[in-house]
């Protein structure tokens, strides 16, 4: 059973007297450069209409930050060239091509493909996914010493085997038992089979592919293991543990393992059978030397006309019309057919058999062990209360029954609660079990934050009107610590209906929101003021002020990427890269 964990906010990081952001008219320096050959971007097709697809494409950021190099970002152009861009003090340079993803002319024709993605593992290794089903482990050389060196592919694999288009979400490198390992996490969307539709109640499913590469010398890599998880709802946050032992997922539904090339996956049905204990009997019966009584529990709605009975002195066929028999076969003794009868009351059916010869029977029907003989008739009621929950054809066949205390049509939109509870799951990669679970409840997901070299991303959740930033503990990744607060940011983000990205720099000094095109909004956290200020209403002296700044870019193109640093941020459109100095 999963351990339940609570998110405990630190009071010293929350400002209950926050009075809002003051609009600042200070102009920020903006520099731009042309992106040669444009930015590669995939849009949704007519077949990709579900919420799963929209979420998958919506989380994609076309700009990639290099955690090992300050003020450096990467992008992929229309020819699948990976380009390095550097921000200088008074300019931005979208420079040389460092790597070209292979077979662009063919792979870009794959239907339903995702965007190509780059993820840095260390100061000299990276993973590239072309979005069409191919994954590459790439040696970048030491990017700190020579960031313009041409990268070299160490291994390429088509995953999954059926070449399903995937988007790279996370990757991590670590050493274990004198071997080097790379864990990669990819995501794609599939259409449910008829069996999956019945089980998950969703036309589409989000599938996570977890793959492992192993090497001895970090030069020659082999594919070592593949795992797969799926869910009926997309996720907002997903990352691998830094030691590759577990996966953390935040979403509105559970994720379950469906495949593992090393450890057999036990399905939910098999687990249920293992934990359910002894199976309840299909019917109960008790006897006297003269007669015998059999009790059945049937589904709600069954009437007298649905029941049939055929019998002879030593054989019986009793059941529901057009369905399986309740009791059928040779009796363990002879009966007087004229004295036999049956009754139905609610969901309980009683069959009465009169014996021709006095004595006790070992069973009702020869070879039929589905029933349980009770010594006392008083035990019958308790047994059939247990059976009642197993005979309904639906979880709740009549949810609008008169016992309901309200009318669903009277509910307003704001009264509706999500079908599933938002949760943050920590799932072990070997046992396939949820080890820790955090119920997020009303703590709405706002955005994710890159935490630097070899660190799992942080997650910003709404608490009341604030945005609270949570980070996984280094030594215990199932635990989360409150490390920063973005005052009133939950309220602010809710008002931005055209929002494309939300992000924060490593020092959490501000939060940035960009629209789908042109506009950026910066929310600087409270900073000390150098001149005396007083609140007009209370007269109290103000020592710090939080500022809002609005930035308009000289373009009407859609914004495709955003990356934030402590003193600057980068914004990418299809043909231009902007750098905005904020420090």
Same domain (yes/no): 187, 54: yes
Phi–psi pair at 54, nearest 5 degrees: -60, -40
Residue 541, domain member (yes or no): yes
Q: Whole-prediction pTM value?
A: 0.74
Within this chain, do residues 214 and 306 fall inside the same structural domain, yes or no?
no
Terminal C-alpha separation, the chain = 48
Same domain, 365 and 508: no
What one-character-per-residue DSSP string does 255-317 give?
-EEEEESSSPPPPHHHHHHHHS-SPPPSEEEEE-SSEEEEEEE--TT--GGGEEEEE-SSEEE
Confidence (pLDDT) at 415: 45
pLDDT, tens digit (0-9, with 9 covering 90-100), for 211-226: 999 999 999 999 999 9
Q: How many domains does the chain have?
A: 2
| pLDDT of the residue at 503 | 94
- If asked whether residues 237 and 339 sit together in one domain, one would say no
- One domain, residues 243 and 298: no
Please indicate, yes or no, if residue 406 is contained in any of the structural domains: no
Give the pLDDT confidence of 305-347 residue by residue, as tens digits.
889 899 999 999 998 887 778 998 899 999 999 889 999 998 8
pLDDT class of 5 with cuts at 50, 70, 90 = confident
Domain end point (choices 373, 388, 403) = 388
CB atoms within 10 A of CB 364: 23
Q: Are residues 171 and 66 in the same domain?
A: yes
**Which CATH number do you get for residue 100?**
2.130.10
Nearest to 477, CA basis, from 258, 246, 252, 303: 246
Residue 27 lies in a domain: yes
Residue-wise burial string across 473-511, b where 16 or more C-beta atoms lie within 10 A, e elsewhere: eeeebbbbebebbbbbbbebbeeeeebbbbbbbbebbbb
Of the candidate ranges 257-271, 281-295, 360-374, the one whose mean pLDDT is the lowest: 257-271
pLDDT at residue 146, rounded to an integer: 74
Query: Is 215 inside any structural domain?
Result: yes
**Same domain assignment for residues 226 and 89:** yes
**Residue 431 shares a structural domain with residue 360:** no
Tokens linked to 564: 């934030």
pLDDT at 418: 47
DSSP 355: B
Tell me which residue of 113, 119, 153 sits closest to 136, measured CA to CA.
153
Give the residue from 468, 474, 405 showing the smallest Cα distance to 440. Answer: 468
What's the pLDDT score for residue 187?
94
Is the confidence at residue 76, as pLDDT, over 80? yes
End-of-domain residue from the set 370, 388, 406: 388
Asked if 437 and 521 sit in the same domain, the reply is: yes
pLDDT of residue 158: 85
Contacts for 358 with CB less than 8 Å, ≥ 6 apart: 289, 290
User: Residue 79: what pLDDT?
Assistant: 94
What does the pLDDT read at residue 225? 92
Answer with the one of 372, 388, 404 that is the final residue of a domain. 388
Cα separation, 520 vs 244, whole angstroms: 36
Q: Could you report the per-residue pLDDT of 356-411, keeping only the tens digit for each?
A: 989 899 899 988 888 888 865 555 556 556 656 555 554 444 544 444 444 544 54
Confidence of residue 281 (pLDDT cuts 50, 70, 90): confident
Specify the higher pLDDT residue, 525 or 315. 315
Q: Residues 467, 357: one domain? A: no
Residue 394 lies in a domain: no
Q: What does the alpha-carbon distance between residue 294 and residue 364 come to, in Å, rounded to a whole number?
A: 8
Could you give the percent of the chain with pLDDT greater than 90? Answer: 57
355 and 218 assigned to the same domain: no
Nearest-angstrom CA–CA distance, 104 and 398: 55
User: Is the same domain home to 18 and 167?
Assistant: yes
CATH code of the domain in which 371 resides: 2.60.40.790
In 10 A of CB 542, how many CB atoms? Answer: 15
Mean pLDDT across the chain, nearest whole number? 86
Q: What is the pLDDT of residues 224-240, one digit of tens each?
A: 999 999 999 999 999 99
396 domain residue, yes or no: no
Is 111 domain-assigned?
A: yes
Output the pLDDT for position 378.
55
pLDDT given at position 568: 94
Task: Check whether the bond before 499 is cis (ω within 30° of 0).
Answer: no
Kindly write down the DSSP assignment for every residue of 437-490, as one continuous string.
EEE-TT--EEEEE--STT-PPEEEEEETTEEEEEEE-SS-TT-EEEEEEETTHH
Domain containing 381 equals 283-388
Distance CA(249)–CA(479), nearest Å, equals: 13
């Amino acid at each position: 059973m999963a351990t339940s964990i609570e998110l405990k906010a630190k009071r010293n990081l929350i400002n209950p007297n926050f009075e809002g952001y003051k609009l600042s008219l200070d102009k920020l320096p903006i520099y731009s450069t042309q992106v040669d050959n444009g930015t590669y971007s995939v849009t949704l097709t007519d077949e990709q209409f579900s919420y799963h697809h929209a979420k998958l494409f919506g989380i994609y950021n076309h700009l990639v930050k290099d955690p090992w190099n300050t003020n450096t970002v990467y992008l992929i152009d229309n020819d699948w060239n990976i380009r390095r861009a550097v921000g200088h003090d008074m300019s931005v340079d979208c420079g040389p091509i460092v790597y070209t993803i292979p077979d662009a002319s063919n792979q870009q024709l794959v239907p339903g493909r995702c965007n190509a993605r780059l993820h840095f593992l260390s100061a000299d290794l990276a993973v590239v996914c072309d979005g069409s089903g191919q994954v590459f482990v790439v040696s970048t050389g030491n990017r700190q010493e020579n960031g313009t060196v041409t990268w070299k592919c160490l291994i390429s694999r088509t995953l999954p085997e059926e070449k399903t288009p995937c988007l790279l979400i996370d990757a991590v490198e670590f050493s274990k038992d004198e071997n080097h390992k790379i864990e990669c996490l990819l995501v794609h969307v599939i259409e449910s089979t008829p069996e999956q539709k019945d089980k998950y109640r969703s036309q589409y499913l989000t599938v996570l592919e977890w793959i492992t590469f192993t090497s001895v010398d970090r030069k020659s890599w082999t594919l070592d293991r593949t795992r797969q998880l799926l869910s009926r709802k997309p996720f907002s946050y997903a990352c691998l543990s830094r030691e590759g032992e577990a996966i953390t997922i935040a979403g509105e539904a559970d994720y379950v393992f469906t495949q593992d090339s090393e450890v057999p996956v036990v399905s939910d049905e098999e687990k249920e059978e293992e934990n359910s204990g002894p199976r309840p009997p299909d019917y109960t019966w008790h006897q006297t030397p003269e007669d015998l009584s059999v009790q059945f529990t049937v589904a709600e709605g069954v009437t007298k006309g649905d029941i049939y009975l055929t019998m002879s002195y030593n054989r019986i066929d009793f059941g529901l019309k057009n369905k399986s028999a309740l009791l059928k076969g040779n009796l363990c003794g002879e009966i007087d057919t004229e004295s036999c009868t049956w009754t139905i009351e609610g969901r309980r059916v009683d069959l009465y058999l009169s014996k021709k010869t006095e004595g006790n029977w070992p069973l009702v029907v020869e070879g039929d062990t589905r029933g349980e003989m009770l010594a006392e008739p008083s035990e019958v009621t308790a047994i059939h209360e247990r059976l009642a929950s197993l005979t309904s054809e639906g979880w709740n066949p009549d949810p609008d029954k008169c016992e309901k205390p309200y009318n669903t049509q009277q509910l307003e939109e704001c009264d509706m609660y999500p079908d599933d509870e938002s949760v943050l799951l920590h799932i072990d990669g070997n046992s396939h079990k949820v080890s820790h679970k955090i119920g997020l409840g009303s703590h709405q997901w706002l955005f994710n934050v890159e935490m630097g070299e070899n660190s799992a991303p942080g997650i910003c959740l709404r608490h009341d009107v604030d945005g609270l930033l949570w980070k996984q503990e280094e030594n215990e990744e199932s635990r989360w610590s409150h490390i920063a607060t973005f005052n009133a940011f939950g309220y602010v983000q809710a008002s931005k209906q055209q929002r494309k990205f939300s992000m924060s720099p490593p020092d959490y000094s501000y939060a940035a929101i960009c629209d789908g095109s042109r506009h950026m909004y910066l929310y600087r956290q409270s900073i000390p003021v150098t001149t005396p200020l007083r609140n007009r209403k209370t007269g109290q002296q103000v020592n710090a002020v939080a500022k809002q700044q609005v930035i308009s870019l000289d373009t009407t193109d859609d914004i495709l990427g955003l990356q934030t640093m402590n003193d600057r941020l980068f914004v990418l459109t299809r043909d231009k890269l902007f750098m905005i100095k904020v420090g």
